[in-house]
Amino acid sequence: MVRIGERLVDAELFEIFNAEATQARMRMNEDWQDWHASDALRAPEPLIRALHTLVGTSRHVGLVQVRGIAAAMEKLLVKQREVASRCLMA
């Protein structure tokens, strides 16, 4: 078992989560940098998908705080895409 704050997580499950979270973080970093280096108004879909993956994997492991942060960021960027799309159509 691995202790994360007050929570005990199965070591094998945590290892899987950690590997997936590391991959998601690397994708998010690349997508974030690419987005800000471009002229695109809308948040890139791969960035939102990586956050969605982090939401699911952290929920599966029971890391409620990580899930909450990732879910809030995903929701924010989905809304940002909607607003940017409306601005582009105007």
CA distance 81 to 83: 6
All residues at 6 or more sequence positions from 59 whose CB lies less than 8 Å from its CB, including other chains = 67
In degrees, rounded to 5, the angle at the alpha carbon of residue 62 between the alpha carbons of residues 59 and 63 is 85
pLDDT tens, residue by residue, 6-48: 888 889 989 999 999 999 999 999 999 999 999 888 999 999 9
Cβ–Cβ < 8 Å for 2, 9? yes
> Can you state the angle between helices 64-89 and 45-61, rounded to 10 degrees?
160
Global confidence as pTM: 0.85
The per-residue pLDDT for 6 is: 82
Position 4 scores a pLDDT of 83
Strand stretches in the chain, DSSP E: 2-4, 7-9
CA 32 to centroid of chain Cα atoms: 11
